[in-house]
Amino acid sequence: MSFFTEENQKRAENIFSQYPDKRSCALPLLHLAQSQEGYLSNETIEKVAEMCEIEPSEMMDTASFYTMFFRKPMGKYRIQVCQTLSCSLAGADKVVDHFAKKLKIQPGETTKDGKFSLLKVECLGSCGTGPVVQLNDDYIEGKTIEELDRTIDDL
């Protein structure tokens, strides 16, 4: 039985059809696996390694390099606040402090109910609209703390 759901298995097959070799599919498959599982457990990494025909150790070598791959469970909503220069000049530090206080967690932590994770991240590539917050996959750009609050409260 495949590790992926039927729909994701089709996606995986489509990925394999696009690349000239299997290992090159590592990043797309890790993304797909993470979207299905929420994070990359060792078991997941092993499964993806098997699909790419490499050792789990080699897949871990790859997966652990990239900050977007989580190797522990994350909250349902990841509040990722950019802290690099332009966003910092635009008040990103205050945004982090605000959410830390509001959610009663430190950056890097997840709320007890598993709903929110607060993460400080480095440059998200949208420096003109700081402070930038990436809520799961979506960019929320140039919003005040009050506006951000409303977005979070509606979740």
Partner 1 sequence: MALILMDGKEIQIENGATVLSAAYRNGIEIPHYCFHPAMKIVGSCRMCLVEIDGMPKLQTSCSTKIGEALPNRKIDGKYDMVIQTQSEKVKKARKTTLEFLLLNHPLDCPVCDQAGECFLQDYTYEYGSSHSRFIEEKLVRPKEDFGSGIQHDPNRCIMCTRCIRFTREVSGTKELHKIERGNHNKIGIFEDKPLDNPLAGNVTDVCPVGAMLPKDSLHKERVWNYDVAETVCGVCARGCNTNVSYRENQIFRITPRRNMDINDWWMCDRGRYFHHEFETKNRIETPKCRQNSELISVSWEGVFNFVREDFARVRKEQKDNFSVGIVASPFLTNEELFTLSDLAHSLDATVYRFVDTKIGEKQEFPQGFKISDDFSPNSAGLDKIFTNADDVANLKKHSVLFVPSLVAGFEFSDSTVEQMKKAKLVIAIQDEKSAISDFANAILPAQNFYEKTGSIVNEDGWIQRMNPIGQSEKFRYNNWEIFLKLQNLLVGKSAQFSSVSEVFSNVIREKFGLEATFFGLKKEAIQMNGGK
Partner 2 sequence: MTKMLTQFIEQENCHTLDFYLKNGGYNQAKRAILEMSADEIIEIAKQSNLRGRGGAGFPAGMKWSFIPRDIDKPKYLISNADEGEPGTFKDRVLLSKNPHQMFDGMIIAAKAIDCHLAFVYIRGEFKKEAEILENAIAEAKEKNILGKRIFGSDFDFDIVVHRGAGAYICGEETALIESIEGKRGQPRIKPPFPAIEGYLQCPTVVNNVETFAALPPIFENGAQWFVDLGVENSAGTKLFSISGHVKNPGVFEVPMGTPLHDLIYNDEFCGGMKDDIPLKSVIPGGSSSPILTAKEIDGLTMDYDAIQKAGSMLGSGAVIVMNETTDMVQVCYNLARFYAHESCGQCTPCREGTAWLIKILKRFTSGGARQEDIELLLDITDNIGGLVDFSQGSFGKTICPFGEAVSWPVRALVEKFLPEFEKRVQEK
Instruction: Sort 106 into a burial class: Cβ within 10 Å, 0-12 / 13-18 / 19+.
Output: exposed
What gap in Å lies between CA 131 and CA 38, rounded to an integer?
Answer: 26
Can residue 107 be called a binding residue for partner 1 (CB under 8 A)?
Answer: no
Angle at 76 between CA 72 and CA 82, to 5 degrees: 80
Contacting residue, 46, 93, 109, 149, with partner 1 by CB under 8 A: 46
Can residue 155 be called a binding residue for partner 2 (CB under 8 A)?
Answer: no
Can residue 138 be called a binding residue for partner 1 (CB under 8 A)?
Answer: no
Q: In the range 36-95, which residues lie near partner 2 by CB under 8 A?
A: 52, 54, 61-62, 64-69, 83-86, 88-90
Least Å from the CB of residue 60 to partner 1? 5
Q: In three state form, how does the secondary structure of 61-94 look?
A: HHHCCCCCCCCCCCCCEEEEEECCHHHHHCCHHH
Can residue 151 be called a binding residue for partner 2 (CB under 8 A)?
Answer: no
The residues that touch partner 1, with contacts defined as CB under 8 A, are 42, 45-46, 54-58, 60-61, 64-65
